[in-house]
Amino acid sequence: MTDQDVGPIDYLVVEFPGAQLKGEALAALIDLVEQGIIRILDLAVAMVGDDGSFTAVEITDLDGDGTLDLAVFEGVSSGLLDDDDLAESAALAEAGSAVGLLVYENTWAGPFVSALRRAGADVISSGRIPADEVIAALDALENA
């Protein structure tokens, strides 16, 4: 077992309807990385064709205008993702959309998990509750 602090690894698949990629989310992602909250392991983007096929897009120039949109993430690849993962992600999106696939480590949790292991404990399960389910539950409680 490694002595390195490693946090839980998560992934997100994001659909960009009409392939409209805007910069606000990118700025938030960069901020999370700069604060050391997450570490990006993989970032891939594909365009979904009208027939459901997909084409991987270079991360550095998503809109093809010659401007390096995501140059900060150029070359980000741990090798965890492959073409099958991108194909599965693209299959979730509507034709004419772009799809982004992000694999990241929750670096904030690494020291905590390592401390648990040093104390003889081990994380035996983890999960994620979708945000829309949490919001719905909170709304139901508020309206009760």
In a domain, residue 1? The reply is no
- b/e code 36-69 from CB counts within 10 Å (16+ = b): eebbbbbbbbbbbeeeeebeebebeebeeeeeeb
Assigned domain for 47 exists = yes
pLDDT at residue number 130: 84
Question: Number of structural domains, the chain?
Answer: 1
12-25 pLDDT, tens per residue? 999 988 887 776 78
Q: Compare 132 and 22 and report the one with higher pLDDT.
A: 132
Instruction: Specify if 57 maps to a domain.
Output: yes
Residue 23, domain extent: 9-143
Q: pTM for the full model?
A: 0.76
Whether residue 24 is contained in a domain is answered as: yes
4 found inside a domain:
no
Of residues 22 and 131, more confidence is placed in 131
Split at pLDDT 50, 70, 90, the class of 144 is: confident
Given this model, what pLDDT does residue 1 score? 42
Token pair, residue 100, equals 């982004």
Q: How confident is the model at residue 121 (pLDDT cuts 50, 70, 90)?
A: very high
**pLDDT tens, residue by residue, 51-110:** 889 988 876 555 555 555 555 555 567 788 888 999 999 999 999 998 999 999 999 988
Q: Is residue 97 part of a domain?
A: yes
If you average pLDDT over each of 1-15, 51-65, 119-133, which comes out highest? 119-133
Asked if the structure places residue 93 within a domain, the reply is: yes
Banded model confidence at residue 143, pLDDT cuts 50, 70, 90: very high
Does residue 130 belong to any structural domain of this protein?
Answer: yes
